[in-house]
Structure 1
């Protein structure tokens, strides 16, 4: 069992706990107050037999919340949204979104609630948000609940991404509800659970699409000001907050998606309602990590055309950002130099401004990807120009694709090669095949294998092992989940006994398929 991420039963022990006299958590309701058009007050379902399955102690410490209290009965009731903290006004958030390219004008939190905003140890605001807490007015069919497996999956993936240094939402806790839920991919009822998620915010591209659809420029303006104050405070007095917001989100999304590509992560459902303004990874539904390198890899059971395949992620991110730019056009027009002119002139100027902001995506992405690949290839201290780094990386990736070689394992083996153990990399190639001329060119450069170890994880959440662990957890055994969580939250240091977590699925394993369980 992990020493930090603990699974414990709800405690009902008495005693003079400090929380007995005052609530140990204070939450704000800034979103609910600032944007009532995008917030519907709502209450979470009260579950009668909850049990705390996982508690993220490091995150609780960041949020200034006593883990011991969170394990108590009042603490668990707080996590479920039953016992509200001072200042908490739970709301279901409204947003729109393009889902697989099709615009849906009203989505929203169908089975989720924003409890409020907490201030972490750095002074930054963090949303606390529930998932699986029951139907809301935005529910699109279904019961509004969630199953243990998908909630633990989001916990696992978020902590793995955090350990990899990738911006992400994180789970504070997973609480079993004691109830059962029916799902199409299971013939039997599954144990229910609620995820408690922390995020810099839950503002999405879809939030701005919804605000634009209201034909209320005041709401769009307040949303923009709220987002700028939350995520880009340096631009609050700039005079063109909508433009600064767009530029900032373009930059953050470019770096985020580059970081996904560098570790072989496939989000799986890059709808505009899953594109966070904060630049954090959000919503770990049908996500997966590559085993064999394949730009066409798509694992989602519903992504039949491969719209969100691994290699398409940068292009989809730019497509989503274009939708954000469209939503912001009225504000870009009124904040342009032509704002005093006729409406058409101002709008044309706004479109040019938006296009210029979007044009920054490709160079920002290329810079982040090249810098990351330089680190993965051990060339941070090398004088090799960027063009050479990109050429070496492209040649390597082409061979990984041709021979269906494990992406994560190849880069770890490359570090061994930098230390003179070339058999590690060559052993990944099939009989009769070997690395091409790029290998000699790379070895002739100034290499830093220790830096490679720090940039290339030994452990990522292997798809087949995650499925195995989640199936066991659904059946009531959390041991496999805890072992995997332990591996992926310290991903860069190989440890004895964790060898299987560094290996891809065995040859002949069926194609991995993921579902939108979250």
Structure 2
């Protein structure tokens, strides 16, 4: 394997001890057809120089990476699923394959899998992932990354040649194994498991490990459990705000799907909003609307309460309560920041930013405009008025309902470094990933093994990221 100077393997998770994981073997697949490799994400950890054969060996057959862990680890955790506690969870069709250091900032990163075979936590499942599921995870994570949302990155998709039976899509269907690059796979459910077992010693060990491994600048404080809770509350508030500003609905906000570094991951029945609708749900099985778009902040706060309960043996209850009670204020600040960032304008003051954010959401609700259209048409503020005038939504901007937002926009300059003539911002319409778009991309793959629309979309997303995240 050609190891680049950026390649820095790590084995930090092993220091937690055997109470936190089970060594497992990857499934043996009848075929290994490389469908997607993320060179941008791979470069962050020095893996971009692999040949396709080497890539397939590591991410299809799971040959250990040099200097990395000798065996994959299925992580142990519990969790609330739709607010019902389930002690029989854990990595059931995935595992922690490797840990490495980010070449840019030295952060510890995980390579985790999905569809890599059965584990002790599979609960009767086959441990596999459909190819459509892999395609959907790539599209969701790459688009969210382009929008500036804290997210895992889909690193690899390899088709595995098996026919899977599923009740929620036409079967038999094609299979794949996915690898993702993420800051951490430690979840609120990881803490819940130890709390349920009354294993205070390992709970304290986990707190210390998380601070040392992921937040070293906050390690060594007088009250480590409260410190960790403070960090997680801020990061989860930021993630929730970023989802809302992106019009994104995760779909399954169980406590085992909320990690402690505040990153979005494990994309199942996700959706993007066609237009502003607080009641919009992503999962067909979410009959009560528990995880609807407008309820995501409330749900995240409920999940944080479950983390606080786990930390009570290790922290002062009043400190935990004070941090928890501050979540709404943290979320509001993060929401204002995420909203104006999505519009590509600079911050002016907390008061002005709040006023602009409120007008944006009022207009989205009143006008029923396509959710992404407003952010695209007016990206960069009033300097984009000529692009907005050519938009299919131009008529909505000419009415009285838009005037309060227009006036607020006047006070906000474009973010520094924006190129309003970039290829992405020169398009007639924004890039969207509604369910109809996903199906349109999938159909030629399913029918003719034609991946052209998939790769075309990834090209548009790259242009979008370059436009929205200037160096």
With the length of structure 1 as denominator, give the TM-score of the two structures.
Answer: 0.80
Name the SS of the counterpart of 2:74 in structure 1. strand
Kept in 2, the 8 Å contact 1:148–1:474? The answer is no
Partner of 1:358: 324
> 1:143 and 1:284 mapped to 2: Cα distance?
18
Alpha-carbon distance in structure 2 between the residues aligned to 1:433 and 1:51 = 53
Q: Give the match's secondary structure for 1:435.
A: helix
Cα deviation code 1:456-482 (max 9, x no counterpart): 983242331122212333342111111
Q: How far 1:426 moved relative to its partner? A: 8.8
Give the aligned partner of residue 345 of structure 1: none
Residues 48-80 of structure 1: per-residue CA shift (max 9 Å, x gap): 3211110111211111124433x11x4312113
**2:36 aligns to what?**
54
Where does residue 445 of structure 2 map in the other structure? 473
In structure 2, C-alpha distance between the alignment counterparts of 1:418 and 1:398, rounded to whole Å: 22
Match of 1:373 among 339, 345, 353: 339
d(CA) in 2 for partners of 1:103, 1:292: 33
Q: CA deviation at 1:449?
A: 4.9
Given candidates 413, 420, 444, the residue that maps to 1:448 is 413
Note if contact 2:396-2:402 (Cα within 8 Å) is conserved in structure 1. Answer: no
Label 1:492 to 1:33 Cα distance change in 2 as closer, same or farther (>3 A).
Answer: closer
Distance 2:2 2:457 in 1: 34
CA distance in 1, matches of 2:122, 2:344: 49
1:330-409 equivalent positions in 2, closer than 5 A: 330-332=313-315, 350-376=316-342, 380=346, 382=348, 386-409=350-373
Alpha-carbon distance in structure 1 between the residues aligned to 2:417 and 2:361? 16
RMSD: 2.9
- Check the 8 A contact 2:152/2:180 in 1, yes or no: yes
Paired residue for 2:50?
68
State the match for 1:438 in structure 2. 404
Check whether the contact 1:378–1:447 (CA below 8 A) recurs between aligned residues.
Answer: no
The one-character-per-residue Cα deviations of 1:426-473 (angstroms, maximum 9, x if unpaired) are 945579965255145336x33435669779983242331122212333
Change (3 A) 1:454 1:241: farther
Question: What is the match of residue 12 of structure 1?
Answer: none
Please report how far the alpha carbon of residue 377 of structure 1 lies from its aligned counterpart in structure 2 after TM superposition. Answer: 5.3
- Structure showing greater radius of gyration is 1
Q: Within 2, Cα distance between the matches of 1:440 and 1:150?
A: 41
Tell me the CA shift for residue 305 of structure 1: 1.2
CA gap of 1:376–1:76, structure 2 versus 1, over 3 A, is closer
1:242 matched residue in structure 2 = 225
Which aligned pairs between 1:4-23 and structure 2 lie closer than 5 A? none
Separation in 1, partners of 2:48, 2:417? 37
Q: For 1:493 and 1:201, how far apart are their aligned partners in 2?
A: 26
Q: Structure 1 residues 199 and 77 mapped into 2: Cα distance closer, same or farther (>3 Å)? A: same
1:329 Cα deviation from its structure 2 partner = 0.8
Q: Residues of 1 paired with 2:384 and 2:102: CA distance?
A: 42
Once residues 354 and 454 of structure 1 are traced to their aligned partners in structure 2, the CA distance between those partners, rounded to angstroms, is: 44
- Secondary structure of 1:107's counterpart equals coil
Q: 1:482 aligns with which of 440, 455, 471?
A: 455
CA separation in 2, counterparts of 1:199 and 1:449? 31
Map of 1:498 onto structure 2: none
* Matched positions, count: 453
Q: Which residue of 2 aligns with 1:43?
A: 25
Q: Hey, what does 2:102 align to over in structure 1?
A: 120
Match of 1:87 among 68, 71, 77: 68
Q: Can you list the C-alpha shifts for 1:185-217, whole angstroms capped at 9, x where unaligned?
A: 234311110001111110000100011112111
- Residues 424 and 393 of structure 1, relative CA distance in 2, 3 Å threshold: farther
1:30–1:362 Cα change, 3 Å? same
CA deviations 1:286-312 (Å, max 9, x no partner) are 111112111221121111111111111
The TM-score normalised by the length of structure 2 is 0.88
Q: Distance in 1 between matches of 2:341 and 2:27?
A: 47
| Residue 452 to residue 291, structure 1, CA distance change in 2 (3 Å) | farther
How far apart in 1 are the matches of 2:165 and 2:441? 20
Alignment partners' CA distance in 1, 2:340 and 2:126: 48
Is 1:463 matched with 2:435?
yes
Q: Report the 3-state secondary structure (helix = DSSP H, G, I; strand = E; otherwise coil) of the residue aligned with 1:405.
A: coil
Distance in 2 (CA, whole Å) between partners of 1:235 and 1:119 is 19
The whole-number CA distance in structure 2 between the counterparts of 1:378 and 1:28 is 37
